[in-house]
Amino acid sequence: MPKSLALGNGKIFVGLDSRAQVRDFYYPHIGLENHLGSSHVHRIGVFVNGRMSWFDDAAWQIAIECENNEFAGTTKAVNNDIGVEVELHDIVYNEQNIFLRQIIVHNKEKYKREIKVFLGQEFQISESRRGDTGYYDPHTHTIIHYKSRRVFLVNAASLKERFDDYSIGIFQIEGKEGSFRDAEDGVLTKNPIEHGSVDSILCMTLHVEGENSSTFHYWVCAGKSTDEVHTLNAHVVLKSPQYLMKTAGDYWNAWVNKQGFTFHGLSDGAVTLFKKSLFYIRAHTDEEGGILASGDSDMLYHGRDTYGYVWPRDGAFTAIALDRSGYATVAHKFYAFCRDVITKDGYFMHKYLPNKAIGSSWHPWIWNDKPELPIQEDETSLVLYALKKHYDKTRDLEFIEELYNPLIKLSANFLVAFKDKKTGLSHPSYDMWEERYGITTFSCSVKYAALMAAGALARVLGKSDDETLYVNAAVELREAILKHLYNYERKMFYRMISTKENDREYDATLDMSSIYGIYAFGILPADDKRVTDSIETIEKHLALQQGTIGGVPRYEHDAYYDEDHDGIPNAWFITTLWLVKYYIVRAKKESDLDIVRNWLDWCVKHTLSAGILSEQLHPLSGTQISAAPLVWSHAEYVTAVIDYLEKLEELGVCNACVPKL
Q: What is the DSSP string of 64-114?
A: EEE-SSSSEEEEEEEETTTTEEEEEEEEE-SSSSEEEEEEEEEE-SSS-EE
What confidence score (pLDDT) does residue 53 get? 97
Query: Which stretches of the chain score pLDDT less than 70?
Result: 1, 38, 299-304, 501, 661
* 531 CB burial (10 A radius; 0-12, 13-18, 19+): buried
Q: How many residues does the chain have?
A: 661
At residue 187, the pLDDT reads 96
Q: What is the pLDDT of residues 612-631, one digit of tens each?
A: 999 999 999 999 999 999 99
Return d(Cα 608, Cα 93) in angstroms, integer. Answer: 24
Distance linking the first and last C-alpha atoms of the chain: 38
Q: What is the pLDDT of residues 199-237, one digit of tens each?
A: 999 999 999 999 999 999 999 999 999 999 999 999 999
CA 482, distance to chain mean position in Å, is 35
Task: Name the CA dihedral angle for 585, 587, 593, 596, rounded to a multiple of 10 degrees.
Answer: -30
Alpha-carbon gap, residue 543 to 80, rounded angstroms: 44
Give dist(CA 526, CA 514) in Å, integer. Answer: 13
pLDDT value, residue 225: 98
Read off the amino acid at residue 305. D
Give residue 67's pLDDT.
Answer: 87
Which among 639, 634, 629 is positioned nearest to 13, based on CA atoms? 629
Rounded Cα distance, 104 and 92, in Å: 18
The predicted-structure confidence for 18-64, as pLDDT tens digits, reads as follows 999 999 999 999 999 999 876 789 999 999 999 999 999 999 999 99
- Residue 271 φ/ψ region, left for φ over 0, alpha for ψ in the -120 to 50 degree band, beta for the rest: alpha
**For the CA atoms of 530, 531, 533, 538, what is the dihedral angle to 10 degrees?**
140
Distance CA 295, CA 15 (A): 7
> What domains sit in the chain, N to C, each tagged with a CATH number?
5-255 (2.70.98.10), 258-283+542-661 (no CATH)
d(CA 634, CA 577): 10
For residues 315-334, b (16+ Cβ closer than 10 Å) or e, as one string?
Answer: bbbbbbbbbbbbbbebbbbb
Residue 156 to residues 35, 336, 600, Cα–Cα distance (Å): 20, 39, 41
The backbone torsions φ and ψ at residue 19, rounded to the nearest 5 degrees and listed phi first, read -105, 15
Query: Residue 231, SS3?
Result: helix
Q: DSSP letters of 386-419? A: HHHHHHHHH--HHHHHHHIIIIIIHHHHHHHHSB
Q: Burial code of 248-269, b = ≥16 C-beta within 10 A, e = fewer?
A: bbebbbebbeeeebbbebbeee
**In sequence order, what DSSP letters do the residues of 288-347 get, joined into one string?**
TS-B-S---TTS-BTTTB-S-SB-HHHHHHHHHHHHHTT-HHHHHHHHHHHHHHS-TTS-
What is the predicted pLDDT for the residue at 501? Answer: 67
